[in-house]
């Protein structure tokens, strides 16, 4: 029987994911633009303290740098307008440029802007701003999340900003030169060990990802294979997966801890592995509890892998099926 994406998505469906993340983002989306900017400033000044020097070097940020230089030269009223346009996804030249940025370039842009705000060169909050009660509600909801969940909320809000360029066709920006580069903070572990797991495709996957060797990782997938990131639809096919990994998986530190493997009557295998992932933005200071759900075909290739954020640390030990 052929493996299908739909059946693959439902393996280990008892995995508990944090519904508070989409709920918090929904609360944020309901705020007006100035409240959104204020919320991000308050949330970031708390979380931002732990952003590490693993943040990308300015040399690789050409695209964001052009915008930042423009913004630095503006009056504070115009700076505020740029930020309001980004938050409200307005159709302006700057907001369009931003809309074409990759996830890490968007994060790098705000990271640099945040540094300029701390130095007093850019105004963080619009002049005369009065906080509405809604901001407090979203901040309180955010405080209830663990750190890994908090940075996921921050990342999401940043990704959703700017003009929606998805309908506009390919960007006129050079693509390959533009990805921010991350310095690895911890040495690469070359022999991966996961309690309960001996599946070569899984061990090789983790080893390749921890070396940013995305070609090797993608070669482990079937030609119709798919990867499903947290809270997203599956990305199908080696080319699309490779592009995604280059943009979003660089510098990640993956520390799988334990797992189970169930062989199916057709020879395929279903595996669930739990562990901790660190992003190069926060380095060792923030660990995200996650699960990988793999479907390996009878020939030992990855047909499907879903990556889920886990609702709680207890979920790391939830390796039963039902
Ligand atoms: O508006 O196996 C200011 C995959 C002002 C790949 C601001 C994976 C106001 C396969 C405060 C300056 C990738 C799926 C804004 C595994 C304002 C795979 C700035 C999983 C916006 C395991 C705000 C990887 C700023 C995972 C600067 C789960 C905010 C990765 C910065 C998760 C926020 C990574 C940052 C996460 C957030 C990274 C830097 C959640 C970074 C989050």
Nearest CA to ligand 1 atom 11: 41
Residue 44's pLDDT band (cuts 50, 70, 90): confident
Tokens standing for 274? 């739990």
* The pTM of the whole model exceeds 0.90: yes
- How close is the Cα of 289 to the center of ligand 1, in Å? 15
- How close is the Cα of 180 to the center of ligand 1, in Å? 13
Q: Can you tell me the distance from the alpha carbon of 139 to that of 263, in angstroms, rounded to the nearest whole number?
A: 45
Pairing of strands 288-296, 253-263: unpaired
For residue 58, the model assigns a pLDDT of 45
Tokens standing for 206? 């983790």
Does residue 177 carry a pLDDT above 60?
no
E strand or H helix that includes residue 263: strand 253-263
Q: Residue 258 phi/psi, 5° resolution?
A: -150, 165
Contacts of 46 (CB under 8 A, 6+ apart): none
Q: Can you tell me the distance from the alpha carbon of 202 to that of 112, in angstroms, rounded to the nearest whole number?
A: 37
Percent of the chain scoring above 70 in pLDDT: 90
Burial class of residue 93, CB neighbours in 10 A (0-12, 13-18, 19+): exposed
Q: How far apart are the first and last CA of the chain?
A: 24
Percent of the chain scoring above 90 in pLDDT: 72
| Nearest in space to 54 (alpha carbons), one of 309, 307, 285, 243 | 285
**Ligand 1 pocket, residue 40 CB under 6 Å:** yes
- Mean pLDDT of the 17-39 span: 96
pLDDT tens-digit readout, 183-202 = 776 666 667 899 999 999 99
**Ligand 1 pocket, residue 229 CB under 6 Å:** yes
Nearest CA to ligand 1 atom 34: 279
- Mean pLDDT of the 299-306 span: 98
């Amino acid at each position: 029987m052929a493996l299908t994406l739909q059946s693959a998505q439902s393996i280990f469906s008892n995995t508990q994911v944090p519904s508070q993340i989409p709920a918090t983002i929904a609360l944020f989306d309901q705020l007006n633009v100035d409240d959104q900017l204020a919320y991000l400033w308050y949330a970031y000044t708390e979380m931002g303290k732990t952003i590490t020097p693993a943040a990308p070097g300015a040399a690789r940020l050409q695209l964001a740098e052009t915008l930042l230089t423009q913004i630095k030269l503006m009056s504070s009223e115009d700076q505020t307008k740029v930020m309001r346009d980004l938050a409200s996804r307005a159709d302006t030249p700057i907001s369009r440029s931003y809309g074409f940025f990759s996830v890490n370039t968007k994060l790098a842009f705000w990271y640099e802007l945040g540094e300029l705000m701390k130095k007093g060169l850019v105004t963080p909050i619009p002049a005369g701003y009065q906080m509405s009660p809604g901001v407090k509600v979203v901040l309180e909801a955010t405080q209830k999340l663990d750190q890994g969940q908090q940075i996921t909320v921050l990342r999401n809000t940043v990704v959703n900003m700017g003009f929606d360029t998805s309908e506009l066709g390919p960007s006129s920006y050079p693509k390959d030169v533009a990805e921010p580069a991350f310095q690895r903070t911890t040495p690469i572990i070359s022999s991966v060990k996961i309690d309960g797991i001996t599946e070569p495709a899984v061990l090789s996957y983790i080893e390749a990802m921890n070396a940013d060797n995305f070609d090797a990782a993608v070669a482990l997938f079937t030609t119709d294979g798919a990867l499903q990131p947290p809270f997203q639809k599956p990305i199908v096919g080696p080319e699309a997966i490779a592009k995604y990994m280059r943009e979003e998986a660089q510098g990640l530190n993956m520390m799988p801890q334990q797992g189970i493997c169930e062989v199916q009557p057709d020879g395929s295998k279903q595996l669930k592995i739990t562990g901790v992932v660190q992003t190069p933005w926060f380095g060792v200071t923030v660990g995200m509890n996650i699960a990988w759900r793999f479907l390996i075909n009878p020939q030992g290739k990855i047909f499907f892998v879903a990556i889920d954020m886990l609702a709680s640390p207890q979920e790391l030990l939830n390796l039963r099926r039902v």
